[in-house]
Amino acid sequence: MTSKSTTLSLINQRKPRHGLSRELYLSSAVYQDDLEQIWHQEWIFAGHTFEIEKPGEYITLQIGNYPIVIVRDSSGDIRAFHNACRHRGSRVCSKAKGKVAKLVCPYHSWTFDLDGKLLFAGNMGEQFNKSDYGLRPAHCEIVNTYIYVCVAEHAPDFSQFRDAVSPFLSPHQLENCKVAYESNLVEKGNWKLVFENNRECYHCDANHPELLNSFVENLSVAGVGGDEDPELKAHWERCEAAGFPSRMVMDQQGQYRMTRIPLFNNASSYTMNGKPAVNKRLDHSSEPNIGALLYFNYPSTWNHFLGDHALSFRILPLSPGETLVTTKWLVHQDAQEGIDYDLDNLTKVWLATNDQDRQLVEETFRGVNSPAYIPGPFSDIAENGVCQFVDWYCDTMKSKLTD
Ligand code: 3BY
Ligand code: FES
Ligand code: FE
């Protein structure tokens, strides 16, 4: 059997409302199929426009097998390129971020303009035509400062997601933000375990003491419902009256979802005491407590937006058993560290939570490694979100592998 039909039959063997089998987490053939069918096809969250504010500023990331560089060009536009030199293939930019006048390959100094054009290539002779060797572009779209990249030859439609998410994000004025702190964790677990873990709070009571000062999982939010919960309905109505789209929107295919939830005990931020960490708000509203807007977009990101700050999370698979989790704490660009916010106070809860989640993912990855592991059932009450993710994964893989 080819790897594709092996992956398909593993997916077809999954029992409804049960976890995935061990091979779907461990096998390098399945991992390659995940890359080819999902990571190399879908729109992947790369970073924020305000991370590359000035011409020549760039960030790099690895999307499966594809190294990518995203740069602001001299006219202020953001462009994504395959970070592989058109000479002999070296990565042109090897750092995570930087600022350059031109993109100069470290190997033989081929020099590309910020728009990707090849400007200089020494010793290539008379016949050599520089215009044939510009950097290869990747698809790039921006929605409310979120830069998304797609490495497929033909990218899927982005406009439906943009139209759905933009009204939710717009009141938060992300274009006035800066990154106050960034953390990068390599979790020793398959990327699907990382997203499964994120989609439930069944584990929160036993594992997230810091987060539970402010976060309470609304069980109807994780899955599909919501309207039947009077507290949530009242929260949505209050926030919408204040100009914040809030009522849950779930993509038909289940790839993305937005919803605004109330926090625990009237907390307004993810701090130890529930009070704002930053004394400059992102939005221009006088509504004292807007709770948290949550949005995820499979396979690469989940996000939280509060009154005083926002958090973006990006996951990138590194191997079957390693996933990079990048977290950014976003605050108003005028907020000054030490004056308007204390960095420890701002980051404490999610640094602790991320590390706890890393341990949960790693312990699960070790457990599913056992030949004796058999996928167990999901809770109908507390694991609808995980089931929704696993269903999306299986449906997506099935439809792509049978195309
Ligand atoms: O990380 C998340 O977005 C979700 C919500 C809080 C904890 N986790 C289950
Ligand atoms: Fe880039 Fe040779 S590989 S200049
Ligand atoms: Fe968690």
Residue 2's pLDDT band (cuts 50, 70, 90):
low
Share of the chain above pLDDT 70, in %: 98
Burial of 380 per CB tally in 10 Å (0-12, 13-18, 19+): exposed
Predicted pLDDT of residue 79: 98
C-beta atoms surrounding 132 within 10 Å = 8
- Region 361-387: mean pLDDT is 97
Mean pLDDT of 336-351: 98
CA of 203 to the centre of ligand 3 (A): 6
Quote the pLDDT of residue 219: 72
Nearest CA to ligand 1 atom 8: 198
**What value does the mean pLDDT take over residues 65-80?**
98
CA of 326 from ligand 1 middle (Å) equals 14
Write out pLDDT tens, residues 203-254: 999 999 999 999 987 776 655 556 678 888 999 999 999 999 999 999 999 9
Question: Ligand 2 centroid vs 114 CA: distance in angstroms?
Answer: 17
pLDDT of residue 403: 81
Q: How far is CA 133 from CA 86, 125, 192, in A?
A: 6, 14, 37
- Kindly identify the ligand whose nearest atom is closest to the C-alpha of 304: 1
Ligand 1 binding pocket (C-beta < 6 A) is 198, 200-201, 215, 302
| pLDDT at site 222 | 57
Q: What is the distance in A from the centroid of ligand 1 to the CA of 145?
A: 22
**What is 286-323 written as a DSSP string?**
--S---EEEEEETTTEEEEE-SS-EEEEEEEEEETTEE
**Which atom of ligand 2 is closest in space to residue 108's alpha carbon?**
4
| Residues measured by CB to lie within 5 Å of ligand 3, the ion | 357
Give residue 63's pLDDT. 99
pLDDT higher than threshold 80 for residue 62: yes
Pocket lining: 105 vs ligand 2, CB cutoff 6 Å: yes
What is the rounded average pLDDT for all residues in the chain?
96
Cβ(88) – ligand 2 distance below 6 Å: yes
Which residue has the least CA distance to atom 4 on ligand 1? 198
Is pLDDT of 394 > 60?
yes
Q: pLDDT confidence of 3, banded at 50, 70, 90?
A: confident
State which ligand 2 atom lies nearest to the alpha carbon of 85: 1
Is 8 within 8 Å of 402 (Cβ atoms)? yes
Closest CA to 345 of 215, 180, 192: 180
What is the structure's pLDDT at 220? 65
Query: For residue 110, which ligand has an atom nearest its CA?
Result: 2
DSSP type of residue 300: T
Q: Which residue has the tokens 């982005």?
A: 158
pLDDT digits (tens, 9 = 90+) for 77-135: 999 999 999 999 999 999 999 999 999 999 999 999 999 999 999 999 999 999 999 99
- The predicted model gives 161-179 an average pLDDT of 98
**In the sheet that 310-319 helps form, which strands lie side by side, from edge to edge?**
177-187, 322-332, 310-319, 301-305, 292-297, 256-261, 249-250
φ, ψ for residue 336 (rounded to 5)? -105, 130
| Helix residue spans in 210-319 (DSSP H) | 219-222, 230-241
Q: Helix (H, G, I), strand (E, B), or coil: what is residue 143?
A: strand
Output the CA–CA distances (angstroms, integers) from residue 60 to 43, 149, 322, 323, 390, in the order listed.
16, 11, 18, 16, 29
> How confident is residue 310, by pLDDT bands cut at 50, 70 and 90?
very high
CA 166 to chain centre: 16
User: Where does the pLDDT of residue 4 fall: very low under 50, low under 70, confident under 90, or very high at 90 and above?
Assistant: confident
For the chain, state the CA radius of gyration.
22
DSSP state of 319: E
Determine the residue of 185, 198, 221, 258 to mutate for testing ligand 1's pocket, defined as the one with the most ligand atoms within 8 A of the Cβ atom: 198
